Structure 1
Amino acid sequence: MGCGWGGLATALNILSPDTHVTGITLSENQFHYFKQAIDTHARNDRLSVFFQ
C-alpha cells in the first residue's frame, strides 16, 4: 500500500513509538518529502520509507 506524503506513518510513529512503520511510494517527490519529514520528526529508528 502506498504511503503518500507520510502523514499517517509519521503520526503512528509519534503515537506508538514501539511500532515499526515502513512506507512505500512510487512518487519520487513524495519519497523525498517523507524522507525529510523522517529526518525532522521521527522519534526513533522505527520509521522508514522506500521508493519503488
Structure 2
Amino acid sequence: LIPKDNERDLKEISDNVKGDLKIQPVQWIDEVLKVALERTPEAVVKAP
C-alpha cells in the first residue's frame, strides 16, 4: 500500500526492483482497512 499522492513516484523505480510486488495506491483509511483486513482471522487452538 502506498499513498495515492506517491503513485506518480513509481515511475522512478525500475521494474526489476518492483518485481512481483502488488502495489496498491490508497487515499483513505477505509481503503487501507479493506486491504489489510481482507482475510478473516483464523481461530488459534491451544494445545491441551
Same-fold status (TM-score > 0.5): no
Richer in strand (by share): 1
Q: TM (normalized to structure 1)?
A: 0.33
